[in-house]
């Protein structure tokens, strides 16, 4: 699933490319992807002709603010990613131009917006779990109300971090992935953050020392910006807005590196299950 760095990378590229554009047409072959309004005809009618006034991120959500006080919310979920380009329609299939957009992972297009000038924004999603919603101000506020603080905000101080972690109970990896505690961190970056902080993913929140908390906080503040700078992680389905792979793989230390040597101490990286998810860690550097 695209996490904060991947979503932020997409948002920043969208800001450069489609701000001020008018949406002329919308197509889908999977109407269940549209959650609000449920009827695709209403969704299409509510968006067509509107101008893109702002593009931003909240947690893992992409928020496209439209004229008329409406916001298009897109959550890419497990295998979805947005792409920008021009496609040609053949039957019910959109054919990409030569280049990165023609990579197989980029060809599962189920939602497509056409702008004035002919440029298009497509949502490719192999598993079809992604969602799109057209919301007014109150609906958007309600939709995002459960999300925790943004770890990249200047207001997210160490004090705010410890306050956020003072309420939940459980193992640190699970808590870091809880979107109501901190917004945007998922399976990949929780592993990477904890490796950099030298904290075992199974360690209970209540057992963390102040030093460990500071190490985790610093690791969050360093790892996420680094991942954004490298355009995210493309070990699975995620691609940038232009269909290209991100470069965080060069900086990935433990996620999906089980059986390999730890980059820091040489111990073999392990993978274990935690509440149905995988946790990757170094048993020497991250002792329980």
**Which of these is catalytic: 3, 133, 192, 233?**
3
Of 255, 248, 247, residue with least CA distance to 277: 255
Residue 56 falls in the annotated catalytic set: no
**Which of these is catalytic: 2, 5, 96, 151?**
2
DSSP state of 184: S
**Which of these is catalytic: 44, 50, 57, 60?**
60
Residue 253 falls in the annotated catalytic set: no
DSSP state of 31: G
Secondary structure of residue 152 in the 3-state scheme: coil
Residue 60 falls in the annotated catalytic set: yes
* Pairing mode, strands 23-28 and 34-36: unpaired
**Which of these is catalytic: 48, 212, 277, 283?**
277
The number of C-alpha atoms within 13 Å of 35 and in the hemisphere containing its C-beta is 14
CB neighbour class for 278 (10 Å; exposed up to 12, middle 13-18, buried from 19): middle
Specify the DSSP element, H or E, that contains 89: strand 88-90
Residue 48 falls in the annotated catalytic set: no
Contacts of 212 (CB under 8 A, 6+ apart): 197, 198, 199, 203
The Cα 60–Cα 63 span in angstroms is: 10
Which residues are marked as active site? Answer: 2-3, 60, 277
């Amino acid at each position: 699933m695209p996490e904060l760095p991947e979503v932020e990378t997409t948002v920043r590229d969208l800001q450069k490319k489609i701000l001020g554009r008018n949406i002329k047409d919308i197509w889908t072959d999977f109407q269940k992807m549209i959650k609000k309004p449920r009827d695709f005809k209403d969704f299409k009618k509510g968006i067509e002709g509107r101008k893109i006034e702002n593009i931003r991120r909240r947690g893992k959500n992409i928020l496209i603010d439209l004229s008329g006080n409406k916001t298009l919310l897109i959550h890419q979920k497990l295998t979805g990613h947005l792409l920008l380009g021009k496609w040609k329609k053949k039957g019910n299939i959109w054919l990409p131009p030569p280049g990165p957009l023609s990579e197989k992972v980029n060809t599962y297009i189920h939602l497509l917006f056409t702008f004035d000038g002919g440029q298009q924004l497509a949502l490719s999603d192999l598993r079809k779990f992604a969602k799109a919603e057209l919301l007014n101000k109150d609906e958007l506020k309600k939709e995002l109300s459960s999300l925790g603080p943004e770890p990249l905000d200047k207001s997210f101080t160490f004090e705010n971090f410890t306050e956020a972690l003072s309420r939940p109970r459980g193992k640190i990896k699970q808590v870091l992935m809880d979107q109501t505690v901190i917004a945007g961190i998922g399976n990949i970056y929780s592993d990477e953050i904890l490796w950099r902080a030298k904290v075992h993913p199974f360690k209970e929140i209540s057992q963390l020392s102040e030093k460990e908390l500071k190490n985790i906080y610093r690791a969050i503040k360093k790892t996420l910006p680094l991942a954004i700078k490298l355009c995210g992680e493309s070990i699975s389905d995620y691609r940038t807005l232009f269909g290209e792979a991100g470069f965080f793989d060069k900086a990935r230390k433990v996620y999906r590196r089980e059986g390999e040597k730890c980059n820091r101490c040489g111990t073999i990286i392990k993978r274990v299950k935690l509440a149905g998810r995988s946790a990757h860690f170094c048993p020497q550097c991250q002792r329980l």
